Amino acid sequence: MTYKLKGSISLLLLLFLVGPKSIAQDYYYTNCDSFQIDDEFVVTEQDEHEFKHSYAERAFVYCSPDSTQEPLGFVNFNTTLTTLETVSHVRRDSFIMYSNRPNEYRYIYHSSSWKKINFRGGFGYVKANDLADEYYPNGQFLLQSNRKSYGEGVQLKAISAEPKMRRSLDKITLPFMHGYRLETCRDNGLKDSGLLLIYETFRQSCPGASSTNLVLLNEDGFHNLISNFSTGEAGMFEHETIYYPIKLANDSVKLIAVSDIMYVLREENGLNLNEVSGYPYPNHIGIPIERLIVKTKSYTENILDENGKELMDENSNYRVNIINEEPVFYEWNGDKLIELGSLYYLSRVDSLIALPSDAIKIDNPKNQVQKVADKIVADESSSFTGTVLSALVGFLLGGLTIGIIFLIKRRKR
């Protein structure tokens, strides 16, 4: 009997010592509330403190990972915060469904992610969506990706050069597929443009696809310069390539495919831009290479049999012809990118420039492409315009003659 009593006392003492600790592990306590730790409330501890930059213009800080609480305060844009752990919180609300059965309902889940931070000598919680995903110190901008669903986009915010200015200078939203890559290039050979950002997004399901946006960042903010798109499946493809001026080690400038530039910036394949052939500079168009961008496009067309049916090879790929379009040239004037057109278009420009001085008067036709285009259109429609103009002049002269005769008769009376 004495032995049993001692055993019971030892068991109670063990439960007293261990019990509170095990219970405490099932709850997450803050300075203002507590949460039960389960599948809907997950705490992820960090091995090391992580430094994050606030992305929102004003990021509110709460006493717990619950936005219904009164905020403790806020931090301005681009404030460096020390994060300690991540809290993923799922709230479940229910409501009655539109049904003849009043007891039927379904749940709506509201998920949110929070970061525990050091704040004013204590701790606080800020929404993860208010923090930047990436910070680019060289480019002086922050990146935040909104990737909950296809196509929502990736947003960039530029940081002002003024250190006391705690708001973003500019922002831009770029397209998003299934993933993205972004690189900054300081060997930008485009004159008077700023820092070059190369943003690529890609689709990983059939048909595969990718697009690239070239963005300039300078003291005025972001400038979405030019983009391309490529896709392909089963031997069919449509592919665009941008050739961009890059400054090499010897200060020379070469037109290099953007895909090769990305390889070098990511240090892939050991590629050396000095050894890349690039696009041969077309000096006959009269645009300095430091202001020139070239885009090429190739695509496939199905080969059909005599019945108009698409042919396929032994690997079940379509048999195709590859079509290469003429390259399109663009000129950067320091403020915007002007599309000059293809070689065919520019040859028309040259033919107009070769006309006698009284045939077309243009101070600088290659910098006034729109005027040249208007002249081309006018030449192609001159016969129709001349006919209409002759008819109009005849009508006016006839009316004027009748009016004069009428006045003479009135005076004779």
pLDDT at 400 over 80: no
The total of structural domains in the chain comes to: 1
pLDDT in tens, 161-188: 887 788 999 999 999 888 899 999 989 9
Q: In this structure, is residue 355 part of a structural domain?
A: no
Q: In this structure, is residue 163 part of a structural domain?
A: no
Quote the CA–CA distance of 113 and 86 in Å, as a whole number: 7
Q: In this structure, is residue 164 part of a structural domain?
A: no
Give the number of other Cβ atoms within 10 Å of residue 213's Cβ: 20
Q: In this structure, is residue 283 part of a structural domain?
A: no
Quote the CA–CA distance of 261 and 269 in Å, as a whole number: 12
Q: In this structure, is residue 35 part of a structural domain?
A: yes
Quote the CA–CA distance of 274 and 168 in Å, as a whole number: 37
pLDDT in tens, 317-343: 888 999 999 999 999 999 999 999 987
pLDDT at 377 over 60: no
pLDDT at 5 over 60: no
Q: In this structure, is residue 335 part of a structural domain?
A: no
Q: What is the distance, to the nearest Å, from the Cα of residue 210 to the centroid of all Cα atoms in its chain?
A: 12
- Which strand (E) or helix (H) includes residue 265? helix 258-265
pLDDT at 64 over 90: yes
Q: What percent of the chain has pLDDT over 90?
A: 48
The whole-number pLDDT of residue 361 equals 39
> When comparing pLDDT for 28 and 368, which is higher?
28
**Tokens 């107009």 found at:** 352
- Rama region for 151: left / alpha / beta (φ>0; ψ in -120 to 50; rest): left
Q: In this structure, is residue 316 part of a structural domain?
A: no
Q: What are phi and psi of 326, to 5 degrees?
A: -65, 140
What's the CATH code of the domain at 32? Answer: 2.30.30
* Mean pLDDT for the stretch of residues 207-229: 94
Q: Which two tokens stand for residue 328?
A: 């399109």
Q: Which two tokens stand for residue 377?
A: 């259109």
Quote the CA–CA distance of 266 and 277 in Å, as a whole number: 19
Q: In this structure, is residue 70 part of a structural domain?
A: yes
Contacts of 93 (CB under 8 A, 6+ apart): 107, 108, 109, 110
Q: Which domain holds residue 64?
A: 27-131
pLDDT in tens, 89-111: 887 776 655 556 666 667 777 88
